[in-house]
């Protein structure tokens, strides 16, 4: 038989995220911790049973959840009131509300605050619909057909139309056609999930082309029922099944024949593994019914799976946690996706598309209510070899290179050829690590600090920080072996205390005092430098006993007074700008950071009461250099000797007529 499978069948993004989160909650569960689903997480009995067996409880009302529980909110979302109750009970909440559903909540809340009437197309009583209604119970009217729209009074400027994410796209289009002439376009929100539209479109197309249509999912699932309604309207031999056993029964009863073309799709709550089992059931039936194949030869060609057996298979699919491998058994085996984290050349999408072959070890085979569970391992093949490598690295104190695959409460896990190495957060680098999650996927060189095989369990710990310390010690010895006064280094600014800057010159920190940072007066080191800057420094002095190094940063040639007597000799004329005026004179800037003082007596031929009688800030003047004292960093000039600036005659007379001070 020919099988046509819909491309977008199975878990949608929201459900996949919620189920994946739930399994991680089980994995990380603490002693005494109560795991609660606020309502059934997904409309799939198999997934629900697995979560319940893993320790979850289902409680439908937030009021009934014990204080302090760990709660997961399903993709359908809940009402704001339920969230407030959980918060009041100090519950730890994992909110897995689908982003598309969350968007509808925000729109409804916003429109209700404007006083608008909200028409919501959806299934009354559905968890998603009830959660949305909770944003504005008095403003939301739920309808599921065009007929129900007739009984609603539409106010053109005060009515909006919105939809449940899994509502029937064709029905929503019909409702839009009726209402679009009664309200503005910007009051119609098409919030049907694109995945839903694709699923329904594929179901419509495939069901019209096949002899038999199979819908996999729960009869309680809204989106699954929509798929069934669409398919049965186009293919009378449409069946809603829960799993592969239902399909096997249909084949046995003759409702599906070997020469049929069979279409398959699945609701958003159906795991990929169940879809694959359904497809595989049909493939097996096809093989058994082909007359030209010797069934005994076929059985002989199937490898007998057993624990610790090494087998080859092809990658068929993947989800958030596992890569699934066809090992020529009724059920696919699965490998934890973590095993591929250390392989930079592995791309899961390409592996599935290309049916990549892998060699694996069978770790365990269990029969469960959902069928056979085959756990495989790719890394276990080299585990023993790499375990020996790590033991030798531990004994010889030689580093190894591993890949960080994830974070834990107080550190990270790195993987070396299938062997996990625990690295405490204080052993990752010299300073504090603020974001452990950001390290995932990075290669790291590790010194093995613990290799424990007691109690038949391998525990390996490592440190990158110790490698850094060793490298720093080697560099430190190199620096102290070659250091001398005047030697220059390229350094990195490590910190900026109030009194200067500590600079790493290759394994050793030296101090540049604040007075050595600039020829200008500065209030703090950060006026000149920033942490992380690469700068050129030179050794002023050092003490091997105390391990202290004094560094210089400013250069003599950068000093405004450098070679001053040659550049501006005494007796030369200079041009400058008045930058500051005092009672005793004026400071004139000759060059950037180089000021000279013109005493009040050297400004004019007339005795001035104040330099401000003839000078102002910003005024350009010409003067003669009368004195230079480099050691005191002083320059004196005289305006009077070149071009005296005298006040106007009226000003002199006024000054003469003014009564003398008693």
- Catalytic member of 128, 130, 272, 277: 128
516 in active site: no
Question: What is the H or E stretch that residue 147 is in?
Answer: helix 146-149
Of the candidates 248, 240, 250, 242, the one whose C-alpha atom is nearest the C-alpha of residue 213 is 240
Alpha carbons 618 and 65: distance in angstroms, whole number: 77
Of the candidates 315, 304, 305, 250, the one whose C-alpha atom is nearest the C-alpha of residue 278 is 250
Q: How many helices (H) does the chain have, and how many strands (E)?
A: 17, 31
Q: Are 166 and 222 in contact (CB under 8 A)?
A: yes
Interhelix angle 13-27/45-53, rounded to 10 degrees, is 20
Determine the Cα angle at 159 with ends 155 and 164, to 5°. Answer: 145
DSSP letter at 621 equals E
Dihedral angle at the C-alpha atoms of 32, 33, 39, 42, nearest 10 degrees?
-110
> What SS3 state is found at 19?
helix
Structure tokens at 262: 């069979």
Strands 322-326 and 333-336, bridge-based pairing: antiparallel
Other beta carbons within 10 angstroms of residue 77's beta carbon come to 27
Determine the Cα angle at 125 with ends 123 and 126, to 5°. Answer: 60
Q: Are 285 and 1 in contact (CB under 8 A)?
A: yes
Structure tokens at 591: 């060059």
Alpha carbons 431 and 465: distance in angstroms, whole number: 9
Structure tokens at 631: 């050691």
Determine the Cα angle at 290 with ends 285 and 293, to 5°. Answer: 115
Q: Phi-psi region for residue 31, left (φ > 0), alpha (ψ -120 to 50) or beta?
A: beta
Across the beta sheet with 70-73, the strand order is: 56-59, 35-38, 70-73, 92-95
> What SS3 state is found at 654?
helix
Alpha carbons 3 and 470: distance in angstroms, whole number: 62
Dihedral angle at the C-alpha atoms of 441, 447, 453, 455, nearest 10 degrees?
-70
Q: Which residues are catalytic?
A: 128
């Amino acid at each position: 038989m020919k099988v046509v499978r819909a491309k977008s069948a199975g878990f949608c993004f929201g459900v996949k995220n919620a189920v994946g989160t739930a399994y991680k909650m089980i994995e990380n569960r603490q002693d005494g911790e109560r795991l609660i689903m606020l309502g059934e997480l997904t409309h799939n009995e198999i997934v629900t049973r697995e979560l319940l067996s893993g320790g979850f409880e289902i409680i439908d009302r937030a009021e009934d959840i014990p204080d302090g529980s760990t709660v997961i909110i399903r993709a359908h979302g809940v009402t704001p009131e339920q969230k407030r109750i959980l918060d009041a009970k100090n519950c730890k909440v994992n909110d897995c509300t689908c982003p598309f559903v969350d968007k509808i909540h925000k729109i409804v809340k916003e429109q209700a605050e404007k006083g608008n009437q909200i028409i919501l197309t959806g299934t009354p009583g559905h968890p998603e619909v009830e959660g949305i209604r909770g944003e504005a119970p008095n403003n939301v009217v739920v309808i599921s057909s065009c007929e129900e729209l007739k009984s609603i009074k539409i106010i053109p400027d005060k009515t909006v139309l919105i939809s449940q994410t899994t509502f029937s796209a064709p029905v929503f289009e019909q409702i839009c056609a009726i209402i679009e002439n009664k309200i503005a376009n910007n009051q119609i929100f098409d919030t049907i999930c694109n995945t839903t539209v694709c699923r329904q479109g594929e179901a419509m197309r495939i069901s019209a082309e096949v002899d038999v249509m199979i819908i996999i999912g729960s009869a309680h699932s809204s989106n699954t029922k929509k798929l069934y309604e669409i398919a049965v309207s186009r293919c009378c031999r449409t069946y809603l099944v829960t799993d592969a056993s239902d399909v096997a029964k249909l084949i046995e009863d003759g409702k599906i024949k070997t020469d049929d073309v069979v279409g398959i799709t699945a609701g958003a709550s159906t795991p990929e593994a169940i879809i694959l089992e359904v497809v595989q059931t049909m493939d097996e039936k096809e093989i058994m019914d082909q007359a030209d194949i010797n069934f005994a030869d076929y059985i002989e060609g199937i490898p007998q799976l057993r624990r610790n057996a090494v087998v080859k298979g092809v990658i068929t699919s993947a989800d958030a946690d596992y890569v699934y491998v066809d090992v020529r058994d009724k059920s696919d085996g699965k490998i934890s996706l973590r095993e591929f984290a250390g392989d930079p050349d592995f791309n899961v999408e390409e592996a599935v598309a290309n049916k990549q072959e892998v060699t694996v070890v069978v770790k365990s085979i269990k029969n469960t209510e959902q069928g056979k569970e085959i756990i495989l391992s790719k890394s276990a093949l080299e585990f023993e070899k790499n375990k020996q490598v790590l033991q030798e690295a531990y004994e010889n104190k030689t580093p190894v290179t591993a890949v960080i695959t994830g974070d834990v409460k107080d550190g990270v896990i790195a993987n070396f050829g299938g062997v996990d190495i625990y690295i405490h957060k204080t052993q990752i680098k010299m300073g504090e690590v603020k974001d452990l999650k950001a390290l995932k996927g990075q290669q790291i060189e590790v010194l093995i600090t613990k290799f424990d095989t007691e109690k038949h369990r391998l525990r390996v710990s490592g440190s990158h920080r110790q490698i850094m310390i060793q490298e720093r010690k080697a560099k430190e010895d190199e620096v102290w072996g070659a250091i001398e006064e005047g030697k220059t280094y390229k350094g990195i600014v490590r910190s900026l205390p109030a009194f200067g800057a500590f600079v790493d010159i290759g394994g050793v920190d030296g101090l540049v005092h604040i007075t050595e940072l600039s020829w200008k007066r500065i209030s703090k080191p950060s006026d000149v430098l920033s942490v992380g800057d690469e700068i050129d420094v030179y050794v002023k002095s050092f003490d091997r006993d105390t391990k202290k190094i004094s560094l210089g940063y400013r250069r003599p040639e950068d000093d405004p007074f450098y070679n001053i007597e040659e550049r501006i000799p005494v007796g030369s004329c200079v041009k400058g700008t008045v930058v500051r005026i005092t009672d005793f004179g004026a400071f004139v800037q000759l060059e950037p950071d180089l000021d000279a003082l013109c005493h009040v007596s050297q400004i004019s031929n007339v005795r001035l009461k104040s330099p401000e009688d003839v000078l102002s800030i910003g005024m350009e003047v010409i003067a003669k250099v009368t004195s230079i004292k480099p050691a005191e960093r002083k320059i004196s000039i005289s305006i009077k000797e070149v071009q005296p600036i005298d006040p106007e005659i009226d000003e002199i007379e006024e000054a003469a007529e003014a009564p003398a001070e008693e």
